[in-house]
Amino acid sequence: MLEKRDRVLFEQLKEGIILFDEEAVVRTAEAVVEERINALKAIMEGLVPGMEHVADLYERQDYFIPELLMCTEALYAGLNILRPHVAKYDLNIKGVVVIGVVKGDVHDIGKNIIKVMFEVVGFEIHDLGRDVPLAQFVKKQLDTNADLVCLSAMMTTTMVEMREIITSVKKRNPKARIIIGGAPVTGEIARQYGADGFAPDASNALKKAIQMLGVLKKVYNEFISDSIFK
């Protein structure tokens, strides 16, 4: 059960994103930190639902691109304050991860949320950013000998890039495992493209990554799902 104060602050974060009120988001995020409230929870239960609501407003044509940009700025202002305060759990998982948004696509909020979740368990993360050409994924995987390559795409037009990236990465290093995600991506697409996994959101992405790194599911169930959100 959430404390009442937590709920109030998470709701304020959500509202701040929706109303693109960057100052309010900054103020509230600082209060979360000062009051030692769980920063990961504030991201997942305040900032993310706020942005999801914004996405609905855009789909309903209540919001347009200018509003989206202001909401995005508010979200990143909050994320920058909260991210350094997310508790880390040393599960002794040696995971090296390359992550990026595919070429032609600048939507990086989802990718950055996934990155926060991965940081929690201490993965070594190589973030290529957004609008990343195929060759960079291949090179980074080889240079770092990454266990996992995580690809994000938010448009049907950019999603198709993933197939070639998967083929190229696996051709150069068949041991690399690839997880894909983003709004248009489904489990069926992942299967068709030859990816090793798909997840619809950040916590499932972490679960999938941990499973792929060969850690017992038991560890996830007993430790992560209970502890992270406490």
Q: Using CB under 6 A as the criterion, which residues of the chain lie in contact with ligand B12 when the complex forms?
A: 48, 51-52, 55, 58-59, 65, 68-69, 72, 104-111, 113-114, 150-152, 154-157, 179-184, 199, 201-202, 205
For the bound state, the minimum distance from the C-beta of residue 114 to ligand B12, rounded and expressed in Å, comes to 5
For the bound state, the minimum distance from the C-beta of residue 4 to ligand B12, rounded and expressed in Å, comes to 26
Contact 132, 103 (CB under 8 A): yes
Compute the distance between CA of residue 142 and CA of residue 123 in angstroms, rounded to an integer. Answer: 17
In the complex with ligand B12, which residue's Cβ is closer, 156 or 167? 156
For the bound state, the minimum distance from the C-beta of residue 170 to ligand B12, rounded and expressed in Å, comes to 16
For the bound state, the minimum distance from the C-beta of residue 144 to ligand B12, rounded and expressed in Å, comes to 17
In the complex with ligand B12, which residue's Cβ is closer, 80 or 157? 157
In the complex with ligand B12, which residue's Cβ is closer, 80 or 156? 156
In the complex with ligand B12, which residue's Cβ is closer, 35 or 167? 167
Handedness of CA 55, 204, 206, 13 (dihedral sign): positive
Compute the distance between CA of residue 33 and CA of residue 13 in angstroms, rounded to an integer. Answer: 13
For the bound state, the minimum distance from the C-beta of residue 178 to ligand B12, rounded and expressed in Å, comes to 9
In the complex with ligand B12, which residue's Cβ is closer, 29 or 150? 150
- Residue with token string 């929706």: 18
Q: What is the residue-wise DSSP string for 146-196? A: -SEEEEE--SHHHHTHHHHHHHHHHHH-TT-EEEEESTT--HHHHHHHT-S
Residue from 12, 24, 36 nearest 73 by CA: 24
Compute the distance between CA of residue 118 and CA of residue 123 in angstroms, rounded to an integer. Answer: 6
